[in-house]
Structure 1
Amino acid sequence: MSDSISNLTEVSMLYIEEVVAEDKLAKGDAYVHVFHFNQTPARGHGIPFKFPLRKGESFAVTKERLLSRINLAQDREAAKKAKFFIVPSGFSKPVEIVDSDVLTEKSFGPYDYIGIDHAIRGERVVRDVNAGVGIKITG
């Protein structure tokens, strides 16, 4: 997934993070945008990020990696309450992701996201998921 900086405006908010070795893509892997929301995708919160999907990996495994990434893996009660959706661009009807899904076999558009529905835990509220753009820096 490659984003052009020519699409940025003067008021674009950027989030920059280093790509760690385990997040680098292998053949057949892909990045997907991920964001947090509470009850409806229009109520986004937290910081959006890019996340690697592994070829052939069931969502049950992907979900554990996602929960670890957002620091919910240790809080099993909060992790059980979290729900995961494919949120198409334009916030049309989200599709819930089930553990048997293999996300690399799904078709994601450039502005489709994985949405994680979970309660806000003291995080800054971001109302527009497109207000911030995650950037990965590879060495």
Structure 2
Amino acid sequence: MDYGISVQEKGEAVHYSIRWSPLELAERWSINAKVPAVAGVYEIYWMDDHNHLRMLSVGQTHYGGLRSEIRRLTDPELITDTKTKKTLEEQEIWFRYCPSHSPEIMADVVWYFKKTYFPENPGVEHSGRYRKIYMNESAPDKLIWVP
């Protein structure tokens, strides 16, 4: 299956369809072997004591690509934030990704997810090209995460 983002524009609205990679356990060797070194969006989760996935990070990457960014964000030796570092050291970490070469598309997609997941403070801006942004996701696994 190809992972990626398709776009349907209609006036001042856009509908993105995102096809995620399968969820993978964040291990150094599997990241290096399976994740492409291209631009894209990603989600990183940690598994709690009740076997629920909890969102750790959602974002986009350009330079260095998905491989180096996911590798960096899941390695406790490379993280300076104490709380995140502790989570990375003590919990099982999972990730998924979707390649995209368009900075505008990635900005819209990441804004949509952050606005949905963290409505009080998404912390990013969309591209400004559309008044309405809609999203449809598909993935090979069923993901249920707890905020």
TM-score under structure 1 length normalisation: 0.30
Question: Quick check: which one's helix share is greater?
Answer: 2
